[in-house]
């Protein structure tokens, strides 16, 4: 008697997203590009067909540092993709696209508004 296959509790794409994020984050720490600044990879969304991956990041610093970090990540994209190919077994090696994490930017904006409100309330 064979057992019926149990559905996985953790979807495949979520597992792939996590492995890709961990691998890329480790490699970004090793990069020596001075344009990178203080960057953190915050998430990855790999398409269901595994051909595309959007890598989300956040940066602490000025607007110029944000821009320079985006340029540096795009410049390092082929290197990061090669590292991913060596370290993670996937059917397809996804094309990497880098985007600043909108949740982080929105959170910073909300925090700024709250600080302004509190500053205006003080006598």
CATH of span 12-121: 3.30.300.20
With beta carbons less than 8 A apart as the criterion, state whether 56 and 101 touch. Answer: yes
Residue by residue, pLDDT tens for the chain (123 residues) are 555 555 555 687 888 899 999 999 999 999 988 888 889 999 999 998 889 999 999 998 888 998 999 999 999 999 999 999 999 888 889 999 999 988 877 777 788 888 888 777 766
With beta carbons less than 8 A apart as the criterion, state whether 69 and 35 touch. Answer: yes
Largest CA distance in the chain: 77
The confidence score (pLDDT) of residue 11 equals 81
């Amino acid at each position: 008697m064979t057992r019926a296959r149990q559905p996985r509790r953790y979807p495949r794409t979520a597992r792939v997203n996590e492995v890709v994020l961990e691998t890329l984050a480790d490699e970004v720490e090793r990069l020596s590009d001075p344009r990178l600044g203080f960057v953190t990879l915050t998430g990855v969304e790999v398409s269901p067909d595994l051909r595309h991956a959007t890598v989300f990041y956040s940066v602490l610093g000025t607007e110029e540092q944000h821009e320079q970090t985006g340029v540096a990540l795009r410049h390092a994209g082929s290197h990061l993709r090669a590292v991913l190919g060596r370290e993670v077994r996937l059917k397809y090696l996804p094309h990497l696209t880098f985007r600043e994490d909108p949740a982080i930017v929105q959170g910073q904006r909300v925090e700024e508004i709250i600080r302004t409100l509190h500053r205006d309330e003080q006598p």
